[in-house]
Every structure is written in structure tokens, then in C-alpha cells.
Structure 1
Amino acid sequence: MRLTALLTATICLATANVLAAERPNILLILADDLGYSDLGAFGGEIETPNLNRLAASGLQLTSMYAAPTCSPTRAMLMSGTDNHLAGLGAMAEAIQPFQRGKPGYEGYLNQQSYSISELLRDGGYRTSMVGKWHLGLAPEQGPDRRGFEQSFTLLEGGGVHFKPTPGSTAKIEQITYRENGQPVELPDDFYSTDFYTDKLIDYLKAGEGSGKPFFAYAAYTSPHWPLQAPDAYLDKYRGRYDTGYDEVRLARIARMKDKGLLPPNFQAAVPLPVTPLLPGWQQLNAQQRQVEARKMEIYAAMVDNLDHNVGRLLDYLRQSGQLDNTLVVFMSDNGAAGERHELFYPPGPDTDNSLQNLGRRGSQIDYGLRWAEVSAAPMRLFKGTTAEGGISVPAIVQLPVSIRRQGLERSVARVDDLAPTFLALAAQPEPGDSYRGQAKHPITGRSMLPMLQGKGRDEVIMAGELFGSRYYREGNLKLLGLVPWAKPGEAPKPLRWQLFDLSSDRGEQQDLLSSQPQTVERLKQAWQAYARQVGVVAPPQAAKP
């Protein structure tokens, strides 16, 4: 009996190991507010050797897209469908009165949507997550209730990267951490990116003997505001940004052309006009330049530290013999961030934004719109818009060694294509419009697997909307509708439509609106059909184009 039981257990374990070997692991790494040209592989001057090596050994996706901001992207990533169907038609923090209570504007990943972690868990994967959740604050909305067997997460959209100061009244320090749904006490030496990596490696090590493949999601909060970095990184980039915005931006664009990321004749976007409220480098005095350069030095330090931690994850997988059978996906959640967070997160009584303390505990600064234009190079505008600089993101994919290929992949894909890609690689069928007796929004993203294997991609049709700005893309034609900024107290400004041919003008500099009126009208109608299909809720005065 004992011998029979032993043989049976051995056979079962061997079978499980074979199945695990046949189905690859999946490691998804999401950076927060990383700009298109920040990484060395994408033309940046910041030192990112680990991500550069990943890009060299895999595929560099030059036309990967996300939503304009973080939680809508995360909803699309998890659900495999449009953010308006998944519950994040607007960020929870920005839902307008006319949107409250409407389907798709719940402010969390709703139950009508799939969760890729649930599907992979039910398909035999062990699932773990660390970092930013931003898909619901209530206990029943957390990652532990949406398919992650192990999770250590920040529930909100952002906050200090160090351990919050006890008793602080600053809004930026009022944040919530949970491990497997339970409150946790952070260690005194907590720094977000370092700690998340420690925790994810611990989770992966704990599951090594399970015989199951893993789905691991590292949702880093770096380099999201506030700009804070460990002391070991704070002085590394001193002096590198003293030349100002334009020189750094132009150098990035030149390197992108040298790398073949851009054609030699690429027409980059033009920075926003200089105004008293938005000065250029030449309009700053010496003290202002010192502060501005310091901001970018700290931002670069955060990206450098992020790269180091990605390297730690890859080293663990390599040393444990799991990397060759792992799909690794790295991307940003949206374009570079140009917003002024201090308008919504005022400094507290203990905030110290002195030059000497920038980047350390107690400071809370953005790097500002002008550096965001640098990070977004060569694209136009930045996070929060549907222009290319808001939704184009750097992305790197390394396939399992059995199907791996290298190079630049220029085909168009979007974040909602990841869920069906993971299912295809895991040999799991897409579940359709119901699951376990509950009606669901079907997965509408398209598997990227054929594209990643070099088998091409059908002509793209994509559409999106956030904060009233919108786009409809058919092939290389992009109809772009932007809501111009209004100063506090000003009446909302009317939507401005533009048309661009991205095959020759990804910098969005040559507006074709007046020369192709029939195309514009057709794409407007297509956008309206999309808006009806996914349930976009527009303000009454903007209900019609």
C-alpha cells in the first residue's frame, strides 16, 4: 500500500511538473507614469541596464497603447475590455455628478468584468501581486477578492514612497496598505519599489514546489509623484539636467533616430508655447533652474532604482531556472505626468520642500509639465489626454525561449490585449459572456501572441475616452478630440477635433481636418457608435460632437 501510494504521488507530482513546464509563467511589470523616452532602450539618458538587456533579448514594442491615466488602464489590463465597461469610465477620484450611479462608472473593477487573475487561478496558475491596486478601496473590491492568492498592495492611486509619518495630517500620507486583504504595519526602512520586489520574490519562492506555473503582477508606483528616492540614488544624476528641457529632449529624439525607433525625417511634437504661467528654460532665473534640474535628477533616480528592482526579479528567475519558461511583459500605465498634484494634495505642516530635502522623506513635488514633455518625447502632450503623448507607452516583451524572437515590433497593440494574450499562452479558452453562472462583459481585446511570434496583425481599430477627451483610430487615421484646459472658475471650453495620419505624423503636427471632411464625419459617427456601445456618459452640453 505504501509503495503504491508513493508511486501514485510521484506520478502526480511528475505530471504537475510537466504541465507547469508546458505552460509558461507570466510576469507582468507595470511602471507608473513612466514616459515614452525615459528608458535607455527608448532613447533616454537614464541608466536602465536591466530593461535595456530585456529589450535586446526580446521585443521592443514601439506602438503600445494604454488609457490616458492609471486606474482606467488597470481596469482594461485586468478585464481585457474597455474601461467604461469595467467600472472605470472615469477615475474614482474624478467621477462627475452627471456620471454618478451610471453603469461603468462604479469607480472600481465591477463584477460584470472578468479579472485575468481569477481566470488564470481557476486555470491552475498560482497568482500573486504587489504594488498599486487602484481598482477599489472596499474590502470586497481588493485584489484578494479578484483572484490573487497572495497580494501586498497600496489601495489608493498614489502616496509617499516611504513609510508614512505617524500622526501626519498631509493628504499624501493618508494611504492604505493591505496584505491578502488585511491591514499591515510597514517596516521603518520601507521604500515602495524595494519592498514590493522583496515581497514578490518571497511569494514566488514560496510557490516553487507547487508544480504550478505562476502569474505574477508587479505594479510599481515608481516614478509616480511624489518624487522620492533612496539616499543611495539621490546624488547619482546631479548636474545631468543643468542644460534644461530642450537640450535633453532633442538629445533623446536624436538617439531614438539613431536606434531606428524613429525614421530620420520624423517630425516630433512641438512643446507648448511659452507663457508667464508656463515658462521655458530661458525664462527661468538661476535659482529656478537649480530647482527644476533637481526635480529631474530625482525622477531619474527613481527610474534607475526601478530598473535595479526589475533586474532583481529577472535575476531571481534566472538563478532559479524559471526565466526561460516565463513571458515577461514590461510597460507603463500611461504617458508622462504633467499635472500639478499640489492643487489636490496641499502640503501639510511638516512638508519640507526645501532644495536640500527634495526627494527625501517629507518632500512632495512633481517634476512639472516641461519635464513631462521631455519624458513624452517625441510625442505630443502627456498623461490625462488622448494625444499620443498621453496614451503611447514604452513596452518590452520577452517570450519564453521556445518561441522567443528579438527586435523592434511596430504593430499596434493596447493594454486590453494583454488578458487574451495571457489566456492564449496558457492554452485557456476565452470565457465568453458568462462565467460560473454570472453574466460578464466579454473580453474584447485581441491576443497579441501571433504578432509577438512575427505572424503579423490585422488593421487596428481602437477608440477611447477619458475626462471628455476622446479618439477613434482606424488603421493609421486617428480622429482626436481634445477638451482644452480651462482655468479654475472658467466655463468649460468646447471640444476641439483634429485628424492625423499616424503613419507619417505620429507627432500629431499636420491636422488633416479641413482637407478630409468626409473622413472626419465618418470617424465621428464611428466614435459615437463606440460611445453608445461602451456607455460613455458625457455632460449634457457635450452629448453631441
Structure 2
Amino acid sequence: MNKSNGYLKIGLFLFFATSVVGCKNNNDKIIEEKRDQRPNILFIMADDLGFSDLGAFGSEISTPNLDTLAQEGRILTNFHSAAACSPTRAELLSGADHHPVGLGEMSETLAALPVLQGKPGYDGYLNDKSLFLPEILKDHGYHTYMAGKWHLGLTAQTSPQARGFERSFALLEGMDLHFKASTPELARGSTYKEDSVSVTLPANFYSTNFYTDKLIEYIEHNKKDEKPFFAYAAYTAPHWPIQAPNEFIARNQGKYDSGYEIIRKNRFEQQKKLGIIPQDFEIPDFLPANQLTDKAPLWSELTAEQRKIEARKMEVYAGMVENLDYNIGRLISYLKQNNLYDNTLIFFVSDNGPQAIEIDQRPQYNNSYENIGHADSYVQIGSRWAEVSATPFQLFKHTAGEGASSVPAIVRLPHQYKKVQQSSEFVSIRDILPTVLDFADIQRPTTEYKNRQVIPISGLSWKEFLAGKQSSVRGNTFFFGDELHGNKYIRNKEWKLRYQVYPLSMGTGAWELFDLNTDRSERKNVVSQNPEIVKQLIDEYNVYAQKNGVVDLTAIYSSDK
């Protein structure tokens, strides 16, 4: 072989080999650049879970998975929901106050309030003026999944699919049994749909287990395409009726025999120890006897049989919360096992505080002591355990008290494994949409989206605050208002002015003022000592109400006095 030809062949071989390797490296780089690096988003919502019901928030209930999430993320001690289920969910998906987007009043109560029917924003479902977080995310390259409680509309036009969820398994109404009804007489007639198709529940259905299975199934189906996902785990636990698998009830046997006062005191002291509340925080007294609590005396006033039943209720409730925590652990373990956890932004919140009013009694169920918590029982925890659940705050779901809207909240940032100091910054469920859009690098819509006029976002993003680049979300001069069922409040950084209708919500039918710097538990009404502050806050409430189309129900409820 001619030596020069040999060198030429070797040179050509090296040239092409180098070129091929170079092309491969360049292709890898192109593929890497095309791979979507935006975070996955997992939003977990519990139902009627009180502020003190997690171990990380002072509870004796065992919640190791959520406690670990808190250790890897950040506890928010001043996060606020709306006062009840569907208004909170409307604010989550719209980023706006619940009134103009259709949930000025819950669908269940609109029928009893003719004055509200036909008024703008009082639709009883999430209307077309709303932005829809899943729709925005889907339009910008995200997979969108949900499993659980919808409560934002019963029609095809108001379904999860219509609002942007790619896959969904939804309970359309606001509640149901947690097990499949064992007989037709016990069924509540609730509607379940998967991707807008009606479905029948399997025989082994238990709500929290099943919704977790579905969400994992949806994520698993598309995980290989490496697009980010938004997964909404809309659990129905621990909403009444309190029902739980036997093994979770058994874990708590005897734990609540000491009664309301001692459990509440223990939680309160643990909250101080954990730094959830300041050392000088004062807990409000148990509520006095009235039309809501006359059937709920304090522990010392109960008979031995009554104590036995009351303790059993809380054993079941604790079992529901522990099962919820177990399933959240399953979800997080799945993400970790599939290398999805690191790049996932996780939120955990409750939709409102605990339910206290024992409504919707159903005599066809077996509510004997031995059967409480089983599939054919229909029991609620009642007002005294609700006060324990809301520790250290006053009042509960549906009211204007802190116990209604101050709920446990945890956020864990992508690639975060070290706990950040808990935050007492005032934040709201309305803030989730703008926060998520910022993390997803999506420009926020203003007053129009896809040729549709929409209610502007009123929530604020936490992204810079959570990253330590901003000292506050709202600053020192904000005003924030809300209203539901005629109960209303307006607050700023220092003061809260609330109005509780009389007598339905433990109210006086008059404005009450509380100093949030020293009295977030709303123990001391200082309205008479601060007339100028009261006037300013009433003026600000009126601005809020006018802007959001709030119908004033004062005249209706004042006639009950």
C-alpha cells in the first residue's frame, strides 16, 4: 500500500469518526435543550382539616409523611383559605376572589337565599369569566391531572375537562361517603366521572386510597415524554361523614379518652414548642352554650357513655387523617422512585377549617358506638372537637373567624431538601395561580385570555419571597377582604374587622375589631376603643365588596335578632 494513501485513509477515517461523534454530542445537546426543565407541580388539598391536625402543627395525630415534607420545605403559619369548600377551590383555579368568578355563594345554599339568585357572580359554579389554572398550564405544555373533589360545577360545560384538565377522576358534588355505599338506601346519589364519562365505583373503593391510585396512574401514563405535569390531589378527607379503614381507626384506640380540654391544651403547648405560635399567644375559651353548642357540653359535663362515643368520633377522625398522610406518602414515594420528586414544586393546604355544625342527619345509617367510622355510619365530629381541630384559633368553617380560614400549609420548592424557617407572612389561596405561573415561566394573563374577557388575577406571587429575594409578599399597607353567608371581614397587617351574622354563626350581628399583633385568636373585641380604625376598615370593606360584587345580607340576618 502506498504510504501516502494509507495516511489519507486514516485521516479520512478520523475525520468522519470525529464528525460523527461531534454530531452525536450536538444532537444530545439539542435534545437536552428541548427537554422541558420547568418544574412539575403537585397541589395537595385536604378537606375540612383544621390548623392543628398535623404533627408539624402540634397534633398528636401521626402524620410522618407531611411532617417530613415540612422538614424539607417551609411551613406557612398565616396561610388563608376561603371559609368553605367551593369558594376556596374557585380561588385556587382562578387566582381571584370567589365572588366574581361564580362562587359568591355555595350552590348548596343558593336555593335558600332567593335574594342572591340571578345576581352576577352568584352562579354556584366556576363561571366563564374565570381564568382556569389547568387550562393555562395545558396551553403552555403541561400535562394536567386531577383526582378527587371538584365542587365547581355539575355540567359538561363546567367539568374538569372543560376547565383544562387532560385527565380527571372527579366527584362532582361537594361530598359523599368515603366507602362505596353498601346498599342503595345508603347511597347519596353523588356523581363520579372519569374524563367526563360517568363511572361506577369499585366494591373496594375508599376515597383517599382510590384518588391516590388514579393520580399515580395518570402521571405514570405520560412520564416518558418528559413534559412537566400539574397534578391536583383534591382529597375529600377528613370531611364528614367520618369513615376510615379499620386498621387506621384501631391505631388511635384510647387516645382521646382524656377529652376535649386536655387534647386542646396539649396541642396548644406543642404549637408553642414548635414555634407555630408565639410564646405569649393566648388561646380563646371554649365557646359558650348556644344554639350550636347546647348539644355539646364540655367533657366534665358528659356521661360516661357520651364520653365513650365522643372519643370514638375522634379516633375515627384521626384515622382518616393518618390514612391521608399515608397516601400522600405513597404519592411522594412514587415521585422519588421515578426521579420526578427533585424537580417538583409541592403545595399542601386544607380548603378551610373544621366543620362544627352537625347537619344532614340521616337516620337510615347505623351510628351505634361499635359502628362509628364504618361504611354504613354517618357521623360528624361536632363543635367541641372542631374547636380542638382549630387550635389555637376561634370558630370554624363557614364563619369569619380565624378558625375558618387559617389552615395548615406547607410548600416545598424544587430541589429543596433543607427546611427553611417557617413564615408568618400573610398569604392566600388566591396567590397560588400567580405563584405557579411564575415558577412555570408563563406570563400572567390580564383581562383577556384566548379571546375571552376574564376577571383579573388579584392574588400575588410568592416566588421571589420563597427564594429569599423579597422580604414580604404584600408589604405593610395591604387590605384583604372576604365574605360568605353574610359573614365578612377586612384586614390589614395589624387589624382585623369581622362581622358574624346573628345567630347562625356565633355572631353578635355587629362589627368586631381585633389587634392581630397581640390577639390573632380574636379573644378581645376592641371596636369601641378604636373608632377611626373601624371607620377606615369599614370603608375598605365597602371598596372590596363593590369591586367584587358582594351582595349585602345584613338586612336578612339582622331580622333574626
Could you say whether these structures have the same fold, taking a TM-score greater than 0.5 normalized by the shorter chain as the test?
yes
Residues of 1 paired with 2:27 and 2:95: CA distance?
33
The answer as to 2:467 corresponding to 1:450 is no
**In the alignment, what sits opposite 1:167?**
184
Aligned residues: 528
Of residues 359, 362, 384, the one that matches 1:346 is 362
TM-score when normalising by structure 2: 0.91
**In the alignment, what sits opposite 1:530?**
544
Structure 1 range deviating more: 35-44 or 500-509: 500-509
Residues of 2 paired with 1:90 and 1:476: CA distance?
28
**In the alignment, what sits opposite 1:3?**
none
Matched residue SS, 2:108: helix
Q: 1:70 offset after TM fit, Å?
A: 0.4
Post-superposition Cα deviations, 1:188-215, rounded to whole Å, max 9, x if no partner, equal 1000000000110010011101221000
Contact 1:56 1:407 in 2 (8 A): no
Residues of 1 paired with 2:377 and 2:435: CA distance?
40
The one-letter amino acid paired with 2:376 is: G
Post-superposition Cα deviations, 1:84-134, rounded to whole Å, max 9, x if no partner, equal 011000110011100011111110000000010000100110000000000
**Cα separation, partners in 2 of 1:14 and 1:285, compared to 1, 3 Å:** farther
**In the alignment, what sits opposite 2:100?**
85
**In the alignment, what sits opposite 2:137?**
120
Residues of 2 paired with 1:12 and 1:127: CA distance?
29
**In the alignment, what sits opposite 1:4?**
none
Contact 2:249 2:318 in 1 (8 A): no
**In the alignment, what sits opposite 1:261?**
276
Residues of 1 paired with 2:255 and 2:28: CA distance?
55
Q: 1:152 offset after TM fit, Å?
A: 0.2
Q: 1:12 offset after TM fit, Å?
A: 9.2
**Cα separation, partners in 2 of 1:414 and 1:10, compared to 1, 3 Å:** farther
**Cα separation, partners in 2 of 1:543 and 1:290, compared to 1, 3 Å:** closer
Contact 2:50 2:389 in 1 (8 A): yes
Contact 1:403 1:453 in 2 (8 A): no
The answer as to 2:55 corresponding to 1:40 is yes
Of residues 149, 168, 188, the one that matches 1:132 is 149
Residues of 1 paired with 2:557 and 2:490: CA distance?
17
**Identical residues among aligned pairs (%):** 45
**Cα separation, partners in 2 of 1:535 and 1:8, compared to 1, 3 Å:** farther
The answer as to 2:385 corresponding to 1:367 is no
The one-letter amino acid paired with 2:491 is: R
Matched residue SS, 1:327: strand
Contact 2:178 2:206 in 1 (8 A): yes
Post-superposition Cα deviations, 1:270-295, rounded to whole Å, max 9, x if no partner, equal 11024643311111100000000000
Of residues 110, 117, 122, the one that matches 2:127 is 110
**Cα separation, partners in 2 of 1:76 and 1:9, compared to 1, 3 Å:** farther
Structure 1 range deviating more: 186-195 or 275-284: 275-284
**In the alignment, what sits opposite 1:424?**
438
Q: 1:450 offset after TM fit, Å?
A: 1.8
Residues of 1 paired with 2:427 and 2:29: CA distance?
37
**In the alignment, what sits opposite 1:239?**
254
Structure 1 range deviating more: 397-406 or 462-471: 397-406
Residues of 1 paired with 2:501 and 2:546: CA distance?
20
TM-score when normalising by structure 1: 0.93
Residues of 2 paired with 1:370 and 1:206: CA distance?
45
Post-superposition Cα deviations, 1:44-83, rounded to whole Å, max 9, x if no partner, equal 0000000000001110000000000000000000000000
Q: 1:449 offset after TM fit, Å?
A: 1.2
Q: 1:237 offset after TM fit, Å?
A: 0.4
**In the alignment, what sits opposite 1:283?**
301
The one-letter amino acid paired with 1:94 is: T
**In the alignment, what sits opposite 2:328?**
310
For the aligned residue pairs, the C-alpha RMSD in angstroms reads 2.2
The answer as to 2:263 corresponding to 1:248 is yes
Q: 1:362 offset after TM fit, Å?
A: 0.5
Contact 2:353 2:390 in 1 (8 A): yes
**In the alignment, what sits opposite 2:76?**
61
Contact 1:66 1:392 in 2 (8 A): yes
**In the alignment, what sits opposite 1:208?**
223
Q: 1:540 offset after TM fit, Å?
A: 7.1
Matched residue SS, 2:276: coil
Of residues 321, 337, 355, the one that matches 1:319 is 337
Q: 1:165 offset after TM fit, Å?
A: 3.3
**Cα separation, partners in 2 of 1:403 and 1:429, compared to 1, 3 Å:** farther
Of residues 412, 430, 443, the one that matches 1:398 is 412
Residues of 2 paired with 1:204 and 1:513: CA distance?
52
Contact 1:128 1:149 in 2 (8 A): yes
The answer as to 2:314 corresponding to 1:296 is yes
The one-letter amino acid paired with 1:374 is: V
Structure 2: gaps of 5 or more residues:
1-21
Contact 1:55 1:398 in 2 (8 A): yes
Residues of 1 paired with 2:334 and 2:278: CA distance?
37
**In the alignment, what sits opposite 1:100?**
117
Q: 1:166 offset after TM fit, Å?
A: 4.5
Residues of 2 paired with 1:352 and 1:368: CA distance?
17
The answer as to 2:480 corresponding to 1:462 is yes
Structure 1 range deviating more: 271-280 or 511-520: 271-280
**Cα separation, partners in 2 of 1:507 and 1:208, compared to 1, 3 Å:** same
Residues of 2 paired with 1:381 and 1:370: CA distance?
10
**In the alignment, what sits opposite 1:357?**
371
Structure 1 range deviating more: 270-279 or 92-101: 270-279
Matched residue SS, 1:127: strand
Post-superposition Cα deviations, 1:19-42, rounded to whole Å, max 9, x if no partner, equal 555210000000000000000000
Q: 1:486 offset after TM fit, Å?
A: 4.1
The one-letter amino acid paired with 1:332 is: S
The answer as to 2:523 corresponding to 1:509 is yes
Matched residue SS, 2:114: coil
**Cα separation, partners in 2 of 1:418 and 1:403, compared to 1, 3 Å:** farther
Residues of 2 paired with 1:72 and 1:194: CA distance?
25
**Cα separation, partners in 2 of 1:85 and 1:285, compared to 1, 3 Å:** same
Contact 1:225 1:365 in 2 (8 A): yes
Contact 1:131 1:218 in 2 (8 A): yes
The answer as to 2:485 corresponding to 1:471 is no
Residues of 2 paired with 1:15 and 1:505: CA distance?
58
The one-letter amino acid paired with 1:140 is: Q
Structure 1 range deviating more: 275-284 or 186-195: 275-284
Contact 2:73 2:417 in 1 (8 A): no
**Cα separation, partners in 2 of 1:519 and 1:79, compared to 1, 3 Å:** same
Matched residue SS, 2:50: coil
Residues of 2 paired with 1:495 and 1:255: CA distance?
34
Contact 2:500 2:507 in 1 (8 A): no
Contact 1:339 1:368 in 2 (8 A): yes
